[in-house]
């Protein structure tokens, strides 16, 4: 090969490697950070603008994210992962996370972080009914779980599939406790979901926010933050109903992936999620930030009154994790899905 041609080829290869390295330096991968959920859209933009790190959109749910981490354990793709709180202990046990203590973690309550540093909560939501009032076509706004079994709501109620989605599993716990069950007895929830299925329930596997706002699903088991986003940000005729029988509040967590290909960028992303700027994003998106001081008075004023939230008990993560495999299996076998 001619010397000039060889030099050009070598320079082109070096430039290619440099561009790849630069792209890698400005990139991180987060599993389960869908823009439509919990206003991850704003968080992803803020991370890009504040840190110069691009995170591609990812529409997995918690179960799918954990499955991908397990499948890729030998050669990880993700750097950080966002999961429903009940998935944190399992991810740790499966060896797909590694310890990291982000700045600000010392302010978190003991139940909101793994004692060995494998995961930590960033915010929480209260589970209830995300209702598109216009889509009810004149029917009354339901007040609680039992109302949804009435014939007038046939085919109008949805919940994410508990087999794979964290919010679906939290829904089972919330209904079960609200109807008199416990972390060791899920019979009330199984009976309820059988009846709800007979009443034409819809069970999507992915985030269904847009389907509620459009009126395709008039009532969805979901968190206060999604219903409030629809009501106050998207100006939809939507409301959040905290069920009369009671419900639960549930944390969402983040973790650094074991052997992450861009671990340093991943750490910077995790630091941001607990920073004042990061926590303010969650608060402005109607989530309760894990650092309570980040909740402004304006954000707090959009939530239901404290008397309503008195019916919501913090979920027992250890109790849920211990029961999860059994109640999901019962749901799969006895309700189907």
pTM of the model: 0.76
pLDDT at 337: 66
Tokens 């009810």 sit on residue: 136
The predicted-structure confidence for 48-101, as pLDDT tens digits, reads as follows 999 999 999 898 888 899 999 999 999 999 999 999 898 999 999 999 999 999
Q: What are phi and psi of 336, to 5 degrees?
A: 95, 145
Q: Is 145 helix (H, G, I), strand (E, B) or coil?
A: coil
For domain 125-248+305-335, give the fold: D-Maltodextrin-Binding Protein; domain 2 (3.40.190)
Q: Where are the alpha helices (DSSP H) in the chain?
A: 3-25, 40-51, 62-71, 87-93, 166-178, 187-198, 209-213, 224-228, 263-274, 276-284, 297-300, 306-309, 317-330
The set of residues, in sequence order, having a beta carbon less than 8 Å from that of 245 and lying 6+ positions away, is: 144, 145, 146, 178, 179
For domain 30-124+250-300, give the fold: D-Maltodextrin-Binding Protein; domain 2 (3.40.190)
* Residues 165, 84: Cα–Cα separation, whole Å: 9
* Residues 39, 285: Cα–Cα separation, whole Å: 6
The set of residues, in sequence order, having a beta carbon less than 8 Å from that of 68 and lying 6+ positions away, is: 31, 60, 77, 78
The predicted-structure confidence for 267-295, as pLDDT tens digits, reads as follows 999 999 999 999 999 998 899 999 988 88
Below-70 pLDDT ranges, the chain:
1-25, 337
- In the chain, which segments carry CATH 3.40.190.10? 30-124+250-300, 125-248+305-335
């Amino acid at each position: 090969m001619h010397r000039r041609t060889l030099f050009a080829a070598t320079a082109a290869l070096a430039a290619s490697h440099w561009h790849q390295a630069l792209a890698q330096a400005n990139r991180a991968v987060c599993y389960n950070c869908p823009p439509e959920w919990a206003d991850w859209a704003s968080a992803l933009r803020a991370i890009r603008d504040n840190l110069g790190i691009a995170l591609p959109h990812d529409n997995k749910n918690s179960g799918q994210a954990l499955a991908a981490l397990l499948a890729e354990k030998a050669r990880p793709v993700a750097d950080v992962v966002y999961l429903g709180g009940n998935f944190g202990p399992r991810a740790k046990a499966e060896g797909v996370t590694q310890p990291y203590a982000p700045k600000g973690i010392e302010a978190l309550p003991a139940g909101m972080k793994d004692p060995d540093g494998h995961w930590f909560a960033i915010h929480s939501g209260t589970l209830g009914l995300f209702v598109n009032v216009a889509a009810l076509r004149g029917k009354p706004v339901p007040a609680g779980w039992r109302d949804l079994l009435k014939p007038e709501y046939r085919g109008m109620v949805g919940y994410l599939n508990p087999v794979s989605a964290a919010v679906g599993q939290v829904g089972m716990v919330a209904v079960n406790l609200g109807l008199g069950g416990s972390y060791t007895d899920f019979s009330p929830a199984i009976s309820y979901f059988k009846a709800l299925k007979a009443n034409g329930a819809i069970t999507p596997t992915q985030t269904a926010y847009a389907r509620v706002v459009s009126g395709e699903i008039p009532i969805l088991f979901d968190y206060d933050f999604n219903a409030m986003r629809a009501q106050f940000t998207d100006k939809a005729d939507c409301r959040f109903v905290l069920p009369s029988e009671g419900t639960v509040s549930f944390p969402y967590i983040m973790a650094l992936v074991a052997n992450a290909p861009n671990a340093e960028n991943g750490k910077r992303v995790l630091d941001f999620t607990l920073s004042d700027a990061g926590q303010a994003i969650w608060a402005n998106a109607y989530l309760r930030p894990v650092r309570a001081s980040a909740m402004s008075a304006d954000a707090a004023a959009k939530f239901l009154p404290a008397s309503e939230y008195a019916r919501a008990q913090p979920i027992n993560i250890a109790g849920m994790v211990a029961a999860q495999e059994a109640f999901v299996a019962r749901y799969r076998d006895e309700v189907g899905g």
